[in-house]
Structure 1
């Protein structure tokens, strides 16, 4: 958790197979000594992704923000099976959760999402049932 005060860590720790790293002062001191916590969020994410990659014993590592949702219009397992090189990077379409002022959200999957521009028309067509022009 990038914010050491984020209470979401408790809920995540209760999830089966989920290991939570809280990025408090002790965490950054262990990794960076006197340089402490990087100011750049992207730098912190890169450091954290590498920490997890080095500790993981898995075939794949997905590095996705907490407000991101993978969007697949085909089988993810089929796509990963096509990646033959063990050091392959697979770029997935990710919808980013938005929280507009006054917006309503009943469940985790309701509400407003932002898609990468190249995917917006394709996703909109799948939701509306329209065919692309």
Structure 2
């Protein structure tokens, strides 16, 4: 277990809406990675997980009921992104005083490093205020194979087309989910507002930022076809495929948003069109692995979630 007094002590804040096993897997994995404190805001009731979370000495769990929001804001914020940002900012300002760093991540995101995360954070320059971890995106159907984002530059579009001949030009960094990653933010700063992918300190966005290349954010955005399809409608309307997000390249260069691509596929071909997109871009398979390997973009990141959960929450069944 990480020494609480050691430099680089870190914690995380998350707003969670998932079934109990997923929540406990998420919590246990990050405790195993050395998190000193987890601030978990339940965006929906989860009575199967709640007693296990409350009993753990390194977890602070907050049930964000309607009464909770009425007391804090006078109403429940409609957008989940707003609720996430408010919860993360509150945790930073009021609860993270015994930490050196705080990161805001989601229940399908898992921090991974082959050496202690605290050591990487402790090694940052004293004037570094935030450190970005970049995502890997799960190959759907695989337990531990991920793809890295395409390196930026003039060859990115050609690489994307080699990997995904039909849909690559519509993807940002070769991903269907975010490429921005998430931020560790140094604690003790004044006038801090956390967002999903960024932080504002005194109105300045991401001041004194660096890249934390030794730590990955393993994003399990789509675990299989059924999981992807189950979340598709919500993501199309309110999440990572929504209409107000920018296309991967400028409109003048032929850019089209992922929202437009998926909506057109569904309108013209129904579920079979969506399945064609999923099979090319998301689904694990030997041919996609081969192409990713050839481009230097295949990663293996085993996450021993079950073992971690059984260690930290042994009474959960």
What is the TM-score normalised by the length of structure 1? 0.65
Map residues 95-110 of structure 1 onto 2, 5 A cutoff.
95-97=218-220, 98-100=222-224, 101=226
Q: Could you tell me which runs of 5 or more consecutive residues in structure 1 were left unpaired when the two chains were aligned.
A: 103-111, 113-119, 128-133
Partner of 1:41: 80
Give deviations 1:37-89, integer Å, cap 9, x for gaps: 21221111110001111112121112221222102245422321233347722
> What SS is found at the alignment partner of 2:118?
helix
TM-score where L is the length of structure 2: 0.30
In the alignment, does 2:55 pair up with 1:14? yes
- The answer for unaligned runs of 5 or more in structure 2 is 1-41, 134-215, 228-282, 284-295, 303-317
Gap change, CA 1:23 and 1:85, over 3 Å in 2: farther
For residues 89-128 of structure 1, what are the structure 2 equivalents within 5 Å?
Answer: 89-92=130-133, 93-97=216-220, 98-100=222-224, 101=226, 121=297, 123-124=299-300
Q: Name the count of aligned residue pairs.
A: 107
Which of the two has higher C-alpha Rg?
2
User: After alignment, is 54-63 or 67-76 more displaced?
Assistant: 67-76
* CA RMSD, 1 decimal: 2.8
Give 1 or 2: higher strand fraction.
2
Select the structure with the greater relative contact order (CA < 8 A; seq sep ≥ 6). Answer: 2
Q: Distance in 2 between matches of 1:86 and 1:15?
A: 34
Matching residue within 63, 66, 69 for 2:107? 66
Matched residues in 2 for 1:19 and 1:121: separation? 37
Q: Which 4+ residue blocks in structure 1 deviate beyond 6 angstroms?
A: none
Q: In the alignment, what sits opposite 1:131? A: none
